[in-house]
Structures are given as C-alpha cells and as structure tokens.
Amino acid sequence: MTATLNETLTLLLIEDDAGDAFLVEELLKEAEAPPRITWVRTLGEAKAKLGPSVQCVLVDLSLPDASGLEALKEVLELASDAAVLVLTGLRDVHVGVAAVQAGAQDYLVKQDVDARLLARAIRYAMERKRADLAQRRLVEAELTAKENARLETGLLPVPLLRTHELRHTTRYLPGSQGQRLAGDFLDTVQTPDGSVHVVVGDVCGHGPDEAALGVALRIAWRTLVLAGQTGDPLLRTLDTLLRAERKSPEIFTTLCAVTITPDLSHARMRVVGHPPPVVVRDGVVGVVPGAPSGPPLGIFPDVRWTELNVPLGERWSMMLYTDGLIEAAVGEGLLGVDGLLGLVRQHGVIDVDRLIGEVGTLTDDLAAVVVSRGGT
C-alpha cells in the first residue's frame, strides 16, 4: 500500500547508521508527496540544520555525540515547533516510551517500520504537534488576557469625586492594532479642600511593560495628590519614577494634569508634551492656549513646566484625551486637533461617545476624561 503524506514537508533525519538512514529514505520515496530529507550523522551536525524550515525530525537516540533523552532534550530545544519522532531498536522500546513522556510526538521501532507505517506515523506526529502548539497558544492567550484584565483594572480606577455639581465621564478603548495593551492611563481625585484633580497620560509604546508602567505612574499620581503635592514637584517625582521603572531610556510619557478650583470656576493645568485639552465655555469651542507647557517626562532633566491658567465660568465642559483620538483615521488622513474641534462645534457639546462613533477606526489606544459643569 502506498504511503500518503498530506503535504510536502522538510524532514531532518538524525541517524549515524548509513543502512538505517538509506532505509528511511527509500521508504519515504513511496509517499504521494515525498518529503525533502536532510540526513546528518550526529547531533552536532543537526544543530547546524535545525531551524524554522524543519517541520519534522526523526532522531535515533544512540548517536556518537549524544544518547538517550539527552539527545532528545537538545533536539526539542532547538526545534520547538517541529514534530519529533524517535527511532529505537527492539531492545530499547522503553526508551521510546520515555521519549514520548519527555516531549516527543511518537516513537518507531526500526525493525517494524514499513512505508505505510512510517508515513502514517509522520502524519499523525505532525497533527499532534499542531494540536500541542494550538493548545500552548491558547494557554498563553488566556494568561495574557488575565494579565491584561489585571492591568486594565489598575489603568481604570474608580474616581474619588464627592461633588454633585460636575458630570464626569471616562472612556478607555483599545486601538485596532491587535488589541494590544498600551500605557494610556487616567484618574480623577477630589481633595479635602474641594479641588478636583484630573490626569490623562500616555506611556509611549505598547505591551504589558508599558501598561504596568502606566499603572505605576497613575497610582503614584493619585498618592501624591492625596498627600497634597501638585505642580512641578509632583511632575518631577513622576519623572524620577519613570526613569527608575522604564525598561529603556527611550521610553517617555506625556500627560495633562488639571486642578479645578473648589468653586469649580477656574482651572490650572500643565500639559506635559500632550495634546491640548478641548474646552467649551458658554458655547465657544477651543483648545487651551499655550499648550503644551513643556516636554514629556523622561526626556530632559530638571525641567520646569509652565502653569496654564484657564477661566471656566459657570457653564463649561472640558475633555482631556490621549493622541489615539486625534490620530484616528478619517478618510485618507487623520482627524487631528482641528478636525476634533470641528466635530465638537458640529455637536455643540463634548459627547465623547458620539466623537468616537464619528471618527471611525482608532489605530491607537484612547483614554479620555470629560468633566462638565452647569448642564453643558
């Protein structure tokens, strides 16, 4: 009966006996799609051949330079994505069983191999390896999802807000680039004197390291605000923390930190290399003038950031956001700050959900906080 392999594959044969190697090659020639076979005599020679292109490995565990499970362990480490079948003699069947327990997909007794059995064993080993890899990816995805959920809990805190005079809305949305976790963060805290403090920040880059750094910066910001620290001293402390915790010196962070006075009629802010907040006052839409008030954190030492003073009045609305909003794809270009202002003017109010719905695809993560007073 002719052996049937479902695909043409690249196979590495590690066998020091020329007669056994010749037999394997001849048997596989009978397959419907004979594999491309590379034959080596030792594990040392195999190391130079093992790579991503090798889909299956047949290995004799009695090699001149390695034997038993020691040889198998090295093969499994060098070809982690390849199916591995072990060749044994009649007296070494127990070694084949141990090899499967150690990670090989199957074992074959040389004296019992024929064309049909060999082809079927290779095919089944390939399928088992695919199933193993799929299971491994599933487990990794589940672990990543759990870690992301834990980090997102840190990125999305419950606001500490006592006043009922303000309407407070937050949004945190992943971008379209593989839904990777990013370092965007936000927070709102009202201190005992009645001041309302808001921050929105963005750690450059994507991934769990950046997200964890965003969580650390947000928690540090909340702690410092509750301890009574604001302004440049707070930012310099965050800058020190960023430099100590980041994985590489290229990592920087932009943010906008706002303090609204206890009577809710005035705001002081520092826009640290960040997009300018949008403010609607008595129906007039604009961005905060003078922004940004200084460079991002983590770029220059001993920086001073200019404080921007913004009169708000009785009826107003303010939105702090990360650049995922203004970098959203609109037509053939990006929304930009001017496009964002145009949409807010069309709506007459800052409706973050409507804005997100109209800009279309978010290519980057978005964190936004909207604070409103007086029914705006």
Q: Note the pLDDT of residue 250.
A: 94
In sequence order, which residues have a C-beta less than 8 Å from that of residue 26 and are 6 or more positions away? none
- Residue 251, SS3 per DSSP: coil
Q: Which neighbouring-strand residues pair with 309?
A: 268
pLDDT in tens, 17-44: 899 889 888 898 887 778 889 999 998 8
Q: Answer for the pair 96, 60: CB distance below 8 angstroms, yes or no.
A: no
Residue 252 burial by Cβ neighbours in a 10 Å radius (0-12, 13-18, 19+): buried
**Three-state DSSP state, 332:** coil
Structure tokens at 161: 């807000």
Percent of residues, the chain, with pLDDT higher than 90? 46
Which residue intervals of the chain are DSSP H helices?
18-28, 43-49, 68-78, 93-102, 115-155, 208-226, 231-245, 336-347, 352-359
- Amino acid sitting at position 207: G
Flag whether pLDDT at 175 surpasses 90.
Answer: no
Neighbours of 195 (CB within 10 A): 17
**Per-residue pLDDT tens digits for 114-165:** 888 888 888 888 888 888 888 888 877 777 666 656 655 656 788 999 999 9
Model pTM above 0.85: no
pLDDT value of residue 177: 52
Task: Kindly report whether the peptide bond that precedes residue 292 is cis, defined as omega within 30 degrees of 0.
Answer: yes
**Residue 3 confidence class, pLDDT cut points 50, 70, 90:** very low
What distances in angstroms separate CA 63 from CA 71, 103, 221, 306, one per listed residue? 8, 19, 61, 72
Has residue 200 got a pLDDT over 50?
yes
Q: Give 103's pLDDT tier (boundaries 50, 70, 90).
A: confident
The C-alpha angle with vertex 119 and arms to 125 and 138, in degrees rounded to 5, equals 20
Ordered structural domains, the chain, with CATH: 10-136 (3.40.50.2300), 156-373 (3.60.40.10)
DSSP characters over 99-139? HHHHT-SEEEEGGG--HHHHHHHHHHHHHHHHHHHHHHHHH
Q: What is the pLDDT of residue 178?
A: 46
Query: Tokens 């040389």 correspond to what residue?
Result: 110
pLDDT tens column, 333-375: 888 999 999 999 998 899 999 998 888 778 888 899 999 998 6
Query: Are 238 and 232 spatial neighbours (Cβ–Cβ below 8 Å)?
Result: no
166-173 and 366-373: which strand pairing?
antiparallel
- Residue in this structure with the two tokens 């705001």, named with its chain if needed: 267
Banded model confidence at residue 204, pLDDT cuts 50, 70, 90: very high
